Protein backbone atom coordinates (compact mmCIF):
# COMPACT_ATOMS: atom_id res chain seq x y z
CA UNK A 1 0.00 0.00 0.00
CA UNK A 2 1.10 3.57 -0.71
CA UNK A 3 -0.33 6.51 1.17
CA UNK A 4 -0.73 10.10 0.12
CA UNK A 5 1.78 12.21 2.07
CA UNK A 6 0.57 15.14 4.13
CA UNK A 7 1.94 17.43 1.45
CA UNK A 8 0.15 17.93 -1.84
CA UNK A 9 2.33 15.48 -3.78
CA UNK A 10 1.47 11.83 -4.25
CA UNK A 11 3.92 8.93 -4.22
CA UNK A 12 3.40 7.27 -7.60
CA UNK A 13 6.07 4.58 -7.44
CA UNK A 14 5.25 1.58 -9.58
CA UNK A 15 4.64 -1.63 -7.69
CA UNK A 16 4.45 -5.14 -9.09
CA UNK A 17 1.00 -6.77 -8.79
CA UNK A 18 0.61 -9.05 -5.80
CA UNK A 19 -0.04 -12.13 -7.94
CA UNK A 20 1.09 -13.04 -11.46
CA UNK A 21 -1.55 -12.95 -14.16
CA UNK A 22 -2.12 -15.54 -16.82
CA UNK A 23 -4.58 -13.37 -18.74
CA UNK A 24 -3.32 -11.82 -22.00
CA UNK A 25 -4.34 -8.24 -21.15
CA UNK A 26 -1.72 -6.65 -18.87
CA UNK A 27 -3.11 -3.11 -18.84
CA UNK A 28 -2.39 -1.36 -15.52
CA UNK A 29 -5.11 -0.29 -13.09
CA UNK A 30 -5.10 1.61 -9.80
CA UNK A 31 -7.33 1.74 -6.71
CA UNK A 32 -7.30 4.95 -4.65
CA UNK A 33 -9.04 5.29 -1.28
CA UNK A 34 -10.23 8.52 0.33
CA UNK A 35 -7.57 8.22 3.03
CA UNK A 36 -4.85 8.34 0.39
CA UNK A 37 -4.16 4.62 0.13
CA UNK A 38 -3.13 3.56 -3.38
CA UNK A 39 -3.09 -0.04 -4.66
CA UNK A 40 -1.76 -0.94 -8.09
CA UNK A 41 -2.78 -3.93 -10.17
CA UNK A 42 -4.00 -4.93 -13.59
CA UNK A 43 -7.21 -4.04 -15.39
CA UNK A 44 -10.20 -6.33 -15.79
CA UNK A 45 -13.72 -5.71 -16.95
CA UNK A 46 -14.59 -2.39 -18.55
CA UNK A 47 -11.93 0.25 -19.10
CA UNK A 48 -12.55 3.57 -17.40
CA UNK A 49 -12.68 5.12 -13.94
CA UNK A 50 -15.39 4.90 -11.31
CA UNK A 51 -15.96 6.10 -7.73
CA UNK A 52 -17.97 4.46 -4.96
CA UNK A 53 -17.91 3.01 -1.46
CA UNK A 54 -15.29 0.27 -1.11
CA UNK A 55 -16.69 -2.74 0.78
CA UNK A 56 -15.80 -6.43 1.03
CA UNK A 57 -17.73 -9.68 0.62
CA UNK A 58 -16.52 -12.85 2.35
CA UNK A 59 -18.49 -15.37 0.28
CA UNK A 60 -16.62 -18.24 -1.36
CA UNK A 61 -19.09 -18.39 -4.25
CA UNK A 62 -21.91 -16.43 -5.89
CA UNK A 63 -19.96 -13.57 -7.43
CA UNK A 64 -22.50 -13.15 -10.24
CA UNK A 65 -25.40 -12.86 -7.80
CA UNK A 66 -23.40 -10.37 -5.74
CA UNK A 67 -22.47 -8.16 -8.69
CA UNK A 68 -26.08 -8.03 -9.94
CA UNK A 69 -27.69 -7.50 -6.52
CA UNK A 70 -29.25 -3.98 -6.54
CA UNK A 71 -28.25 -3.65 -2.86
CA UNK A 72 -24.66 -3.14 -4.08
CA UNK A 73 -25.54 -0.02 -6.08
CA UNK A 74 -22.91 2.65 -5.62
CA UNK A 75 -20.25 0.26 -4.28
CA UNK A 76 -16.89 -1.16 -5.31
CA UNK A 77 -16.79 -4.77 -4.10
CA UNK A 78 -13.65 -6.41 -2.76
CA UNK A 79 -13.96 -10.20 -2.94
CA UNK A 80 -12.01 -11.98 -0.22
CA UNK A 81 -12.05 -15.30 -2.06
CA UNK A 82 -8.68 -15.37 -3.87
CA UNK A 83 -9.87 -16.43 -7.34
CA UNK A 84 -12.97 -15.23 -9.13
CA UNK A 85 -14.45 -16.34 -12.43
CA UNK A 86 -13.60 -20.05 -12.29
CA UNK A 87 -17.23 -21.03 -13.02
CA UNK A 88 -17.88 -18.22 -15.50
CA UNK A 89 -21.23 -16.47 -15.88
CA UNK A 90 -24.65 -17.72 -16.96
CA UNK A 91 -28.06 -16.20 -17.66
CA UNK A 92 -29.87 -17.94 -14.81
CA UNK A 93 -27.98 -16.47 -11.86
CA UNK A 94 -28.71 -12.80 -12.55
CA UNK A 95 -30.44 -11.00 -9.68
CA UNK A 96 -31.40 -8.09 -11.96
CA UNK A 97 -31.30 -7.19 -15.65
CA UNK A 98 -27.77 -5.81 -15.29
CA UNK A 99 -24.89 -5.41 -12.84
CA UNK A 100 -25.45 -2.88 -10.06
CA UNK A 101 -22.00 -2.88 -8.46
CA UNK A 102 -19.86 -0.06 -9.82
CA UNK A 103 -16.54 -1.82 -9.49
CA UNK A 104 -14.88 -5.18 -8.82
CA UNK A 105 -11.66 -5.76 -6.85
CA UNK A 106 -10.09 -9.22 -6.99
CA UNK A 107 -6.84 -11.02 -6.21
CA UNK A 108 -6.88 -13.23 -9.29
CA UNK A 109 -9.29 -13.60 -12.20
CA UNK A 110 -9.58 -17.07 -13.74
CA UNK A 111 -8.79 -16.77 -17.47
CA UNK A 112 -10.50 -20.05 -18.40
CA UNK A 113 -13.78 -20.96 -16.61
CA UNK A 114 -14.95 -24.55 -16.29
CA UNK A 115 -18.58 -25.28 -15.45
CA UNK A 116 -21.45 -26.97 -17.27
CA UNK A 117 -23.60 -23.86 -16.87
CA UNK A 118 -20.96 -21.40 -18.07
CA UNK A 119 -22.01 -19.18 -20.99
CA UNK A 120 -19.41 -16.39 -20.75
CA UNK A 121 -16.19 -15.51 -18.96
CA UNK A 122 -16.46 -13.17 -15.99
CA UNK A 123 -13.97 -10.73 -17.53
CA UNK A 124 -15.96 -10.45 -20.75
CA UNK A 125 -19.22 -10.12 -18.83
CA UNK A 126 -17.81 -7.36 -16.59
CA UNK A 127 -16.68 -5.50 -19.70
CA UNK A 128 -20.07 -5.89 -21.37
CA UNK A 129 -21.82 -4.76 -18.19
CA UNK A 130 -19.64 -1.68 -17.85
CA UNK A 131 -18.14 -2.75 -14.50
CA UNK A 132 -14.61 -1.39 -14.02
CA UNK A 133 -12.33 -3.89 -12.30
CA UNK A 134 -8.84 -4.30 -10.87
CA UNK A 135 -7.06 -7.61 -10.30
CA UNK A 136 -3.73 -8.69 -8.92
CA UNK A 137 -4.00 -6.64 -5.72
CA UNK A 138 -3.43 -7.86 -2.17
CA UNK A 139 -7.08 -8.21 -1.17
CA UNK A 140 -6.14 -9.60 2.26
CA UNK A 141 -4.30 -6.39 3.12
CA UNK A 142 -7.14 -4.31 1.71
CA UNK A 143 -9.77 -6.14 3.77
CA UNK A 144 -7.69 -5.72 6.94
CA UNK A 145 -7.48 -2.02 6.14
CA UNK A 146 -11.27 -1.79 5.71
CA UNK A 147 -11.91 -3.73 8.92
CA UNK A 148 -9.65 -1.41 10.88
CA UNK A 149 -10.77 1.87 9.33
CA UNK A 150 -14.27 1.04 8.09
CA UNK A 151 -15.85 1.14 4.64
CA UNK A 152 -14.52 4.14 2.72
CA UNK A 153 -15.04 5.82 -0.61
CA UNK A 154 -12.56 4.98 -3.35
CA UNK A 155 -11.98 4.89 -7.08
CA UNK A 156 -10.79 2.32 -9.62
CA UNK A 157 -9.17 3.51 -12.84
CA UNK A 158 -7.92 1.51 -15.79
CA UNK A 159 -7.88 4.38 -18.28
CA UNK A 160 -4.66 6.03 -17.22
CA UNK A 161 -6.16 8.55 -14.81
CA UNK A 162 -3.42 9.47 -12.36
CA UNK A 163 -3.87 8.77 -8.60
CA UNK A 164 -3.80 12.46 -7.62
CA UNK A 165 -6.74 13.22 -9.92
CA UNK A 166 -8.59 10.13 -8.69
CA UNK A 167 -8.13 11.20 -5.10
CA UNK A 168 -9.81 14.53 -5.80
CA UNK A 169 -12.70 12.72 -7.47
CA UNK A 170 -13.03 10.38 -4.49
CA UNK A 171 -13.06 13.25 -2.01
CA UNK A 172 -15.91 14.84 -4.00
CA UNK A 173 -17.99 11.62 -3.95
CA UNK A 174 -20.90 11.70 -1.45
CA UNK A 175 -20.72 9.33 1.52
CA UNK A 176 -23.31 6.54 1.75
CA UNK A 177 -24.94 8.21 4.77
CA UNK A 178 -28.04 10.09 3.67
CA UNK A 179 -28.23 8.57 0.17
CA UNK A 180 -31.60 7.31 -1.04
CA UNK A 181 -30.33 4.84 -3.64
CA UNK A 182 -33.55 2.81 -3.50
CA UNK A 183 -35.21 5.49 -5.62
CA UNK A 184 -32.58 4.94 -8.32
CA UNK A 185 -32.83 1.14 -8.58
CA UNK A 186 -36.57 0.62 -8.04
CA UNK A 187 -38.83 -0.35 -10.91
CA UNK A 188 -40.46 2.67 -12.61
CA UNK A 189 -43.64 0.71 -13.37
CA UNK A 190 -45.59 -2.09 -11.66
CA UNK A 191 -45.17 -5.63 -12.95
CA UNK A 192 -46.29 -9.17 -12.12
CA UNK A 193 -43.81 -11.96 -11.31
CA UNK A 194 -44.92 -15.57 -11.72
CA UNK A 195 -41.71 -17.59 -12.28
CA UNK A 196 -40.76 -19.81 -9.32
CA UNK A 197 -37.13 -20.44 -10.30
CA UNK A 198 -34.87 -20.10 -13.32
CA UNK A 199 -32.86 -23.20 -12.40
CA UNK A 200 -34.89 -26.43 -12.85
CA UNK A 201 -32.58 -28.36 -10.52
CA UNK A 202 -33.57 -26.34 -7.41
CA UNK A 203 -34.59 -29.07 -4.95
CA UNK A 204 -36.61 -26.58 -2.88
CA UNK A 205 -39.42 -26.35 -5.46
CA UNK A 206 -42.72 -27.52 -3.98
CA UNK A 207 -46.29 -27.63 -5.35
CA UNK A 208 -48.15 -24.44 -4.43
CA UNK A 209 -51.69 -23.92 -3.12
CA UNK A 210 -54.70 -24.15 -5.43
CA UNK A 211 -55.31 -20.42 -4.90
CA UNK A 212 -52.07 -18.40 -4.66
CA UNK A 213 -51.71 -15.73 -2.00
CA UNK A 214 -51.91 -12.20 -3.38
CA UNK A 215 -48.71 -10.40 -2.38
CA UNK A 216 -47.68 -6.84 -3.13
CA UNK A 217 -43.88 -6.45 -3.10
CA UNK A 218 -42.44 -2.96 -2.71
CA UNK A 219 -39.28 -2.72 -4.79
CA UNK A 220 -36.48 -0.89 -2.98
CA UNK A 221 -33.95 -2.93 -5.00
CA UNK A 222 -35.53 -6.38 -5.00
CA UNK A 223 -33.58 -9.48 -6.02
CA UNK A 224 -35.09 -11.93 -8.48
CA UNK A 225 -34.34 -14.83 -6.15
CA UNK A 226 -36.67 -13.28 -3.55
CA UNK A 227 -39.48 -13.09 -6.09
CA UNK A 228 -38.78 -16.69 -7.09
CA UNK A 229 -38.95 -17.88 -3.48
CA UNK A 230 -42.23 -16.04 -2.88
CA UNK A 231 -43.74 -17.69 -5.96
CA UNK A 232 -42.28 -21.08 -4.97
CA UNK A 233 -44.05 -20.75 -1.62
CA UNK A 234 -47.41 -20.17 -3.28
CA UNK A 235 -47.61 -16.40 -3.82
CA UNK A 236 -48.84 -14.39 -6.81
CA UNK A 237 -46.61 -11.31 -6.69
CA UNK A 238 -47.25 -7.80 -7.98
CA UNK A 239 -44.16 -5.57 -7.72
CA UNK A 240 -44.67 -1.83 -7.13
CA UNK A 241 -42.20 1.10 -7.15
CA UNK A 242 -40.49 2.44 -4.03
CA UNK A 243 -42.68 5.57 -3.95
CA UNK A 244 -45.95 3.59 -3.80
CA UNK A 245 -48.70 4.90 -1.49
CA UNK A 246 -51.00 2.96 0.82
CA UNK A 247 -54.01 3.56 -1.46
CA UNK A 248 -52.13 2.04 -4.40
CA UNK A 249 -51.24 -1.01 -2.31
CA UNK A 250 -54.75 -1.55 -0.94
CA UNK A 251 -56.27 -1.13 -4.41
CA UNK A 252 -54.70 -4.50 -5.28
CA UNK A 253 -56.40 -6.16 -2.28
CA UNK A 254 -53.24 -7.90 -1.08
CA UNK A 255 -53.26 -10.71 1.43
CA UNK A 256 -49.71 -9.73 2.39
CA UNK A 257 -47.17 -6.98 1.71
CA UNK A 258 -43.46 -7.57 1.24
CA UNK A 259 -40.81 -4.83 1.76
CA UNK A 260 -37.70 -5.68 -0.21
CA UNK A 261 -33.97 -5.35 0.18
CA UNK A 262 -32.15 -2.38 -1.37
CA UNK A 263 -29.13 -0.09 -1.28
CA UNK A 264 -28.21 3.07 0.58
CA UNK A 265 -29.21 4.65 3.89
CA UNK A 266 -32.60 3.39 5.17
CA UNK A 267 -33.30 6.68 6.96
CA UNK A 268 -33.21 8.46 3.57
CA UNK A 269 -36.00 6.29 2.08
CA UNK A 270 -38.69 8.59 3.42
CA UNK A 271 -41.51 7.49 1.10
CA UNK A 272 -40.86 3.85 2.06
CA UNK A 273 -40.92 4.70 5.77
CA UNK A 274 -44.18 6.63 5.27
CA UNK A 275 -45.73 3.63 3.49
CA UNK A 276 -44.58 1.23 6.22
CA UNK A 277 -46.05 3.57 8.85
CA UNK A 278 -49.39 3.47 7.04
CA UNK A 279 -49.23 -0.32 6.61
CA UNK A 280 -48.79 -0.71 10.36
CA UNK A 281 -52.19 0.97 10.75
CA UNK A 282 -53.73 -2.07 9.02
CA UNK A 283 -53.65 -4.37 12.08
CA UNK A 284 -54.62 -7.61 10.32
CA UNK A 285 -52.43 -7.27 7.21
CA UNK A 286 -49.30 -9.50 7.19
CA UNK A 287 -46.11 -7.57 6.39
CA UNK A 288 -42.65 -9.10 5.82
CA UNK A 289 -39.45 -7.10 5.35
CA UNK A 290 -35.97 -8.26 4.29
CA UNK A 291 -32.75 -6.27 4.78
CA UNK A 292 -33.58 -2.64 3.84
CA UNK A 293 -37.28 -3.53 4.20
CA UNK A 294 -36.57 -4.80 7.72
CA UNK A 295 -34.79 -1.54 8.55
CA UNK A 296 -37.65 0.52 7.11
CA UNK A 297 -40.07 -1.40 9.33
CA UNK A 298 -37.93 -0.56 12.36
CA UNK A 299 -37.81 3.13 11.43
CA UNK A 300 -41.59 3.18 10.91
CA UNK A 301 -41.94 1.82 14.44
CA UNK A 302 -39.97 4.78 15.80
CA UNK A 303 -36.55 3.13 15.86
CA UNK A 304 -33.22 4.50 14.66
CA UNK A 305 -30.67 3.11 12.24
CA UNK A 306 -26.89 3.53 12.24
CA UNK A 307 -24.03 2.79 9.88
CA UNK A 308 -21.90 -0.25 10.65
CA UNK A 309 -18.15 0.09 10.54
CA UNK A 310 -17.63 -2.23 7.58
CA UNK A 311 -21.00 -3.92 7.20
CA UNK A 312 -22.07 -7.56 6.95
CA UNK A 313 -21.54 -9.03 3.48
CA UNK A 314 -21.09 -12.75 2.92
CA UNK A 315 -22.61 -16.20 3.27
CA UNK A 316 -21.59 -17.39 6.72
CA UNK A 317 -23.07 -14.97 9.26
CA UNK A 318 -24.57 -16.78 12.28
CA UNK A 319 -27.86 -15.38 13.56
CA UNK A 320 -29.78 -16.83 16.44
CA UNK A 321 -32.81 -16.96 18.64
CA UNK A 322 -32.96 -18.95 21.89
CA UNK A 323 -32.16 -22.57 21.04
CA UNK A 324 -31.68 -21.97 17.32
CA UNK A 325 -28.89 -20.74 15.04
CA UNK A 326 -29.12 -20.00 11.31
CA UNK A 327 -26.12 -19.54 9.03
CA UNK A 328 -27.19 -16.67 6.82
CA UNK A 329 -26.41 -14.70 3.68
CA UNK A 330 -26.09 -10.97 4.35
CA UNK A 331 -25.46 -7.72 2.52
CA UNK A 332 -25.98 -4.50 4.43
CA UNK A 333 -24.04 -1.54 5.78
CA UNK A 334 -26.65 -0.22 8.22
CA UNK A 335 -28.44 -1.76 11.21
CA UNK A 336 -31.23 -0.95 13.67
CA UNK A 337 -30.46 0.37 17.12
CA UNK A 338 -32.03 -2.20 19.44
CA UNK A 339 -32.47 0.29 22.30
CA UNK A 340 -34.50 2.61 20.07
CA UNK A 341 -37.21 0.04 19.26
CA UNK A 342 -40.36 0.23 21.46
CA UNK A 343 -40.14 -2.91 23.61
CA UNK A 344 -43.85 -2.87 24.42
CA UNK A 345 -44.63 -3.29 20.72
CA UNK A 346 -41.57 -4.99 19.21
CA UNK A 347 -39.83 -8.25 20.03
CA UNK A 348 -36.26 -8.76 18.81
CA UNK A 349 -36.32 -12.40 17.68
CA UNK A 350 -32.79 -12.87 16.29
CA UNK A 351 -29.37 -11.36 16.92
CA UNK A 352 -26.28 -11.41 14.76
CA UNK A 353 -24.05 -13.69 16.83
CA UNK A 354 -20.86 -12.01 15.61
CA UNK A 355 -21.59 -8.54 16.96
CA UNK A 356 -24.98 -8.66 18.70
CA UNK A 357 -26.80 -6.35 16.27
CA UNK A 358 -30.50 -6.79 15.50
CA UNK A 359 -30.97 -9.60 12.97
CA UNK A 360 -34.77 -9.96 13.09
CA UNK A 361 -37.82 -8.47 14.78
CA UNK A 362 -41.54 -9.16 15.08
CA UNK A 363 -44.50 -7.19 16.35
CA UNK A 364 -46.11 -8.59 19.46
CA UNK A 365 -49.74 -8.10 18.44
CA UNK A 366 -49.63 -7.85 14.63
CA UNK A 367 -48.64 -10.27 11.83
CA UNK A 368 -45.56 -8.21 10.98
CA UNK A 369 -41.90 -9.26 11.01
CA UNK A 370 -38.58 -8.45 9.39
CA UNK A 371 -35.21 -10.14 8.99
CA UNK A 372 -31.93 -8.33 8.38
CA UNK A 373 -30.44 -11.21 6.39
CA UNK A 374 -31.41 -12.84 3.09
CA UNK A 375 -33.49 -16.02 3.47
CA UNK A 376 -33.70 -16.48 -0.32
CA UNK A 377 -30.04 -17.60 -0.07
CA UNK A 378 -28.85 -16.54 -3.49
CA UNK A 379 -26.04 -17.17 -2.94
CA UNK A 380 -25.76 -18.81 0.44
CA UNK A 381 -27.13 -21.53 2.73
CA UNK A 382 -30.83 -22.38 2.90
CA UNK A 383 -31.14 -22.29 6.70
CA UNK A 384 -33.46 -19.27 6.68
CA UNK A 385 -35.82 -20.21 3.84
CA UNK A 386 -38.49 -21.01 6.42
CA UNK A 387 -39.20 -17.28 6.82
CA UNK A 388 -41.06 -17.36 3.50
CA UNK A 389 -43.20 -20.20 4.84
CA UNK A 390 -43.73 -18.12 7.98
CA UNK A 391 -45.06 -15.24 5.85
CA UNK A 392 -47.37 -17.59 3.95
CA UNK A 393 -48.63 -19.08 7.23
CA UNK A 394 -49.64 -15.60 8.41
CA UNK A 395 -51.58 -15.04 5.20
CA UNK A 396 -53.21 -18.48 5.47
CA UNK A 397 -54.33 -17.72 9.01
CA UNK A 398 -55.84 -14.41 7.91
CA UNK A 399 -57.54 -16.05 4.91
**321: closest CA among 384, 374, 380, 363?**
384
Rounded Cα distance, 169 and 104, in Å? 18
Q: Annotated catalytic, 291?
A: yes
Question: Residue 268 gets which letter from DSSP?
Answer: G
Helix, strand, coil % over all residues of the chain, rounded to 5: 25, 30, 45
Q: Annotated catalytic, 376?
A: yes
Which residues sit opposite 259 in a β-bridge?
A: 218, 289
The separation between CA 335 and the C-alpha centre of its own chain, rounded to angstroms, equals 13
Q: Helix axis angle, 386-398 relative to 224-232, nearest 10°?
A: 50
Rounded Cα distance, 238 and 247, in Å? 15
C-beta atoms surrounding 276 within 10 Å? 26
Rounded Cα distance, 194 and 234, in Å? 10
Q: Annotated catalytic, 397?
A: no
291, 312, 332, 387: the active-site residue: 291
**299: closest CA among 326, 279, 329, 328?**
279
294, 350, 376, 387: the active-site residue: 376
312, 317, 332, 374: the active-site residue: 374
For the annotated catalytic residues, the residue numbers are 291, 374, 376
Amino acid sequence: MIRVPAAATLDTRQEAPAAPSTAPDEAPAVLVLADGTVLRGLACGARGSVCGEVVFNTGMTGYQEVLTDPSYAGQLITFTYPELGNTGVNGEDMEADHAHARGCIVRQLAPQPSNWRCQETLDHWLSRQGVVGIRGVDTRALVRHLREGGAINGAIASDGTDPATLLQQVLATPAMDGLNLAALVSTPEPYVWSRPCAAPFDARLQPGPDRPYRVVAIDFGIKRAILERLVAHGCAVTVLPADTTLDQVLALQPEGVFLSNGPGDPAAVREGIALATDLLQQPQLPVFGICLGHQILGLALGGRSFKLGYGHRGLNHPCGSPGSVEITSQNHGFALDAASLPAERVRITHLNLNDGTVAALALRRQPVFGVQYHPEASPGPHDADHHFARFVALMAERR
